[in-house]
Structure 1
Amino acid sequence: MEQIRQYFESEFGISRADWEIFSSKLNRYEFPKKSMLVEAGKVENYLSFIEKGIVRLYIPKEDGGLTFGFVFNGAFVSAYDSFLTQKPSEYTVETITDTILWRLGHKELQEVYASSSIGNLIGRKASEELFLKKSKRELSLLRDSAEQRYLNLFEERPELLREIPLKYIASYIGVTPQALSRIRRRIS
């Protein structure tokens, strides 16, 4: 919980009273790799902060799915559209590595909003973070080559990228695993 407290202190200057309200609603969970945090067709009930691990967001398909996002430690993760609307998710959220999450339920977040001065700011920051990641991804798909998308991902988190199976990386940058192998050979 110390990591999330430090994050909130650096981002918001959260008061002790607000931290007590917020932290009392958080629950720590450990998930082994390949755990489904939310499956397509199910409602997302949590906004989670990754203390440790890597999470993948993907649209299920017969060939393993279309990966459209990775989320690393120190960031929020959720099937956020489902969380907000409380309607079934159109995609799956799954751990790639053993993962530790601090989770806040939908109902508990509403209580934090109502009972603390910082609650809305925390919710807004989580929303903004998730939106900016989505926007960056969309722009990259429209503007960058597959090779550049790979390089961008590698520059962001090279130490963690080694833990992601290449088939997920290929799906994320929009190429086949064979094309990814050619890109990797070309740039090494």
Structure 2
Amino acid sequence: MIAAALHDLLRAVFAEQADIPQTEWIHFWSHVREKRFADREHLIHEGRKASTIHYVVSGLVRIYYNHEGREQVQGFDFEGRWVTAYESVLTGEPALYSVQALEPTQTLSFSGELLFALYARHPCWDRVGRRILESQWVRQSDKERRFRVHSPEEHYRVLIARRSPLIDRVPLNQLASFLQITPETLSRIRARIRSDSTT
């Protein structure tokens, strides 16, 4: 049985998206599962169909894909964020990227098929689904804009200014891959920023 605190947490998250009748919530909650992933364990595998939508309760994951035999990090997600391969869930096609825990991670999860079935039950679920997708689109657009207008060092400074948890929790090589630079270059950027802060 899932702890009451987790029930209340997800209920509050959904309440921010739409007014969900109690009968609808009870039906939905009966399909939610608590999942735990060890460090380095995959939530989603590139090339396989993704069928589950995760809400991250605790932990940290990376989103990456393989390009010419090398892993390229696309991004990270942590507490309070939704994680899945949306295109795969929506189309049934294989996922274009993998999602892997970088530290022990706990999620509340449900199937994409459930969400689609809920759309036919009550209008509130259409709003919930739309708001989740909209939030992902806004985050993706913001990330693309940062890559377009900022150099890697500027991008890193933006993360610092936003007090991003990525700064302290993501391994250097993973963060460098995300910024599309080498770990050595990121080390130099960090050293330069430390030097600037002491002068």
> Same-fold call, TM > 0.5?
yes
| 8 Å contact kept, 2:61–2:78 | yes
Equivalent in the alignment of 2:122:
116
| Helix, strand or coil at the partner of 2:169 | coil
- Structure 1 residue 138 corresponds to structure 2 residue 144: yes
- 3-state SS in 2 of match to 1:152: helix
3-state SS of 2:128 partner? helix
Could you say what secondary structure the match of 2:118 adopts? helix
Shift of 1:104: 1.2
Candidates 7, 11, 14, aligned match of 2:17 = 11
**Number of equivalenced pairs:** 188
Does the 8 Å CA contact 2:42/2:100 hold for their aligned counterparts? yes
The whole-number CA distance in structure 2 between the counterparts of 1:63 and 1:152 is 30
Range with greater deviation from structure 2 (7-16 or 124-133): 7-16
Counterpart CA distance in 1 for 2:141 and 2:98 is: 19
Q: Does 1:22 align with 2:6?
A: no
Greater C-alpha Rg:
2
Structure 1 residue runs of 5 or longer lacking an equivalent are: none
The CA deviation string for residues 101-143 of structure 1, in whole angstroms up to 9 with x for no partner, is: 1111122112222223311111111111111121111111111
TM-score, normalised with respect to structure 1: 0.92
- In the alignment, the residues of structure 2 paired with residue 73 and residue 81 of structure 1 have an alpha-carbon distance, to the nearest angstrom, of 22
Structure 1 residue corresponding to 2:183, chosen from 145, 162, 177: 177
Q: CA RMSD in A?
A: 1.8
Give the counterpart of 1:103 among 100, 106, 109. Answer: 109
- Structure 2 regions of 5+ residues with no counterpart? 1-5, 195-199
| 3-state SS in 2 of match to 1:70 | strand
Among 49, 54, 62, which residue is 1:48 paired with? 54
SS at match of 2:16: helix
Q: Is 2:174 the counterpart of 1:168?
A: yes
Q: Could you tell me how far apart the structure 2 residues matched to 1:5 and 1:126 are? A: 14
Higher relative contact order (CA closer than 8 Å, sequence separation 6+):
1
> What letter is aligned with 2:90?
L
Shift in Å at residue 63 of structure 1?
6.9
> When the two structures are superposed, what TM-score results if normalisation uses the length of structure 2?
0.87
**1:11 Cα deviation (Å)?**
3.3
97-106 or 15-24, which deviates more:
15-24
Structure 1 partner of 2:79:
73
